[in-house]
Amino acid sequence: MSSLASRAFYQFARVVLVGGCYLLFRMKVANAGVVPSSGAYVVTPTHRSILDTFIAASVTRKRVRFMGKQELWANPAVSWLLTTLGGFPVDRGAGSGAVKAALSVIDGGEPVVVFPEGTRRHGGIIDDLQEGAAYLAVKRGVPLLPVGIAGTEEILAPGRAIPRLKKVAVVIGSPIHPRTRGKTVDRAEVTRLTAELERELQKLYDDANRLI
């Protein structure tokens, strides 16, 4: 299928999935005007549910990219679908595989979603962030786009098969730009950027919770 057809399919799927979130969960998205209009960036949402991957697509009409385990790409039909929807395979057995794959996406000019909490968390505290998102930002000199997502933990908690129809709120923060970039990554800047992201995500998550 042609690239044009693939992009059209993505936009169709985005309308269905994101539109469904607006309809079913009465989703609100605040501060959409701060999203960069061009170029690559790292979308860094809070993470309370598997729904957050789909909701992250609401921040921009551009195709957003996200990681998936390589095994999911074994079936050609599933592989095409996941790739068209923005997924890219990562070999979890290769330590640097995820980083190389994400850098390739950034080099292609597309936004990539990285959950800085690493895995789904519970409760209202944002802390102990992983440094991968900041590393990508510093390595390529692209901004982080912090996103607070509230309400999804109540909709589809771990172990729950049937979602609850609860409200969802998304609050987008201003892009956070790294102060340095280059082939040799400044680890101190990665640590500083991660700490700044943690503070901003806590604020955005609290703001999002006040909207629901």
79 falls within a domain: no
77 falls within a domain: no
CA quadruple 131, 133, 134, 137: dihedral, nearest 10: 150
CATH code where residue 205 lies: 3.40.1130.10
Whole-number Å distance between alpha carbons of 149 and 117: 13
Residue 47: give the domain boundaries.
3-63+92-210
145 falls within a domain: yes
For the entire predicted model, the pTM comes to 0.90
Annotate the chain with DSSP letters as a single string.
Answer: --HHHHHHHHHHHHHHHHHHHHHHH--EEE-GGGS-SSS--EEEE--SSTTHHHHHGGG-SSPPBEEEEGGGGSSHHHHHHHHHTTEEEE-TTSTTHHHHHHHHHHHTT--EE--TT-S---SS---S--SHHHHHHHHHT--EEEEEEESHHHHS-TT--S------EEEEPPPB--S--SSS--HHHHHHHHHHHHHHHHHHHHHHHHT-
**Neighbouring C-alpha atoms within 13 Å toward the C-beta of 154:** 12
74 falls within a domain: no
Q: Which residues pair with 90 in a beta bridge?
A: 69
Residue 144 token pair? 């982080």
pLDDT of 53? 87
182 falls within a domain: yes
pLDDT of 93? 59
102 falls within a domain: yes
pLDDT of 1? 46
| Total count of domains within the chain | 1
Amino acid at 99: V
Taking the chain (212 residues) in runs of 10, the rounded mean pLDDT of each run is 75 90 94 96 95 91 86 81 81 71 93 92 94 96 98 82 89 96 90 98 98 92
118 falls within a domain: yes
